[in-house]
Amino acid sequence: MVTALCIAGLAGLVRGFAGFGYAVMVVLGLNLLLPAQQALATAILLDLACCVGLLPQALVHCHRPLLGRLLLGMLLALPLGIWAVNWLPAGSMSLLVGGLSLAGGLLLLFQVPLRPLAQRFAVGAGIASGLAMTTASAGGPPLMVYLLNQPIEASAQRATAILFFALCSAATLVGLALSGLLDRQVLTLGAWMLIPSLLGNQLGQSLFRRYPGLDYRRGVAPLLILMSLWVILK
């Protein structure tokens, strides 16, 4: 339990500062303690709970036309993601989580300029991010790689990401609940991990306000890569 609480606090810190990364860090950590499907359900449940405090400000700063296209892509990917979670064996799910998270961390760390990818490709970015989020809670890196290459302010990028993942988590939870994966153990563990997650989230927001120009890739991407390799090797 202590390990799970530490994972929650660290993931909340990352989420509060960068606007993403909470769910993928929680699912990577819990994969070492729980079956992959339960780790995924717990991570997405907590991800939604922890972003509630970020929503009012995100609603003000988000890029609404871009968010609409991203959400359309996410909804198109959702059925396939829920099917994969229900039918893949636990061992395969763990490898999928580790592999997608590793790929996402590498994309963030070695970011290649993708300026030709205009806003009309937002539906495709939403599909990729939504599928990665639903199956591995790893939707943050592909979405942020796309958003970072859009001609919008950093505050709008962060706010758009926050709203996208809030709605994606809510939709995924509905699918998991209908599949019977949102059981009592998941709800109990989520309740225990909520407080350290919220505390870390508040600290992360304070750091973002104090150091708005800090490049999160220097800290978040290497951490994702190391945790992904740990899960894959385990």
Q: What is the pLDDT of residues 85-106, one digit of tens each?
A: 888 776 777 777 778 778 777 7
Number of compact structural domains in the chain: 1
Instruction: Band the pLDDT of 113: cuts 50, 70, 90.
Output: low
Task: Find, among 111, 97, 109, 171, the residue nearest to 147 by Cα.
Answer: 111
Q: What is the pTM of this model?
A: 0.76
- Averaged pLDDT of the chain: 81
From CA 21, how far away is CA 40, in angstroms rounded?
14
CA–centroid distance for 123 within its chain: 18
Query: Which domain, by its residues, includes 212?
Result: 2-233
pLDDT of residue 73: 93
**Tens digit of pLDDT for each residue in 168-197?**
889 988 888 888 888 888 889 888 998 898
